[in-house]
Amino acid sequence: MEGESGDITMTSANRKCSAVTGSGRKIKDNTADWHNLILKWEKVNEEGFSTAAKIINIRRCQSEDQLVNKSPSFSSPATAVSAATGGAAELQDACCKLQDIVNKMVAIVTKMESLMTSQRGVQDLEEFQFGPEGRKIPLFHTWNTKQFESTSCFLLDIYSQELKLKQTILQELAHTTTSDLCMVYLSCWLHQPFIHPQTRLTLEALLLETGHRPL
């Protein structure tokens, strides 16, 4: 971000060439992919949250049922069993759904990884073409190729961390009994602690740099 005011005159010339080719083209496409993947993640995450909330509610109902069934000892066991089995089936469904969602997330992160590899490939190519210092004139506005690579690396890191968290939650969610811990799982899912506000900024910077967003 530093020194952008000084470089504007130089970059304005580059901006004009609409048909970008080569490395520039690749990077621009990658950036668009990043953006789409992150949007998709958000959507999936929201879905996942509602499913997770559902799981927790089912769990809560079950434990309350148990409490209710325990106290009057003469209630017919059949209804209790049917309720429990009904709940269990529902729970099973919800868990499967959550599993699917996490799988989707895994897919997203895998795509992110492949983006990363392609980014690295571009970087290697650039290095091969222009030597270790990279290109003299930036591809777009100010960033050099290395910066694109590190940015991708940063984003991938974040999302793979978050995925790991989600996977842990998926495994534990249906087996948790304490309500406080359930709450923590849910808020973890919702607030995505590893995706800090800088992520959004980084993505925007990427979009700005590659010209997806008008300056």
Partner 1 sequence: MSKPASSALHQALRKSFQTLENNHKVWKDVLDECSPLIVSLGNLAEQSRALSNVQLSNTPLRIFPDLEERLRFKLLQATDTVLGKLNEKMSSLQSVRDTFSNQVSAVSQLYEQNTSSLDLLTVTERSATFPSVADMLEWLQDAERHFRQQFLRRKTLLQLLTADNLSLLESAPERWKSLESPSAEENIADTLCKVSFFMEAQ
Residues near partner 1, by CB under 8 A: 161, 164-165, 168, 171-172, 178-181, 183-184, 186-188, 191-194, 196-197
Residue with tokens 């690579």: 149
User: 14 vs 194, which CB is nearer to partner 1?
Assistant: 194
Nearest approach, Cβ of residue 29 and partner 1 (Å):
32
Task: Tell me how far apart the alpha carbons of residues 134 and 130 are, in angstroms, rounded to a whole number.
Answer: 5
Helix, strand, coil abundance in the chain, percent, nearest 5 = 80, 0, 20
CB of 162 to partner 1, least distance (A): 10
**Do 118 and 30 touch, CB atoms closer than 8 A?**
yes
- In the complex with partner 1, which residue's Cβ is closer, 56 or 115? 56
Nearest to 147 by CA among 32, 31, 20, 29: 31
Give the chain's count of helices (H) and strands (E). Answer: 6, 0
Residue 9 or 178 with smaller CB distance to partner 1: 178
Rounded Cα distance, 157 and 195, in Å:
10
Shortest Å, Cβ 43 to partner 1: 19
Nearer to partner 1, 69 or 161 (CB): 161
**Look-up: residue for tokens 């048909």?**
19
Smallest separation, CB 66 to partner 1 (Å): 22
Choose between 194 and 208: whose C-beta lies nearer to partner 1: 194
Q: CB of 73: closest distance to partner 1 in angstroms?
A: 32
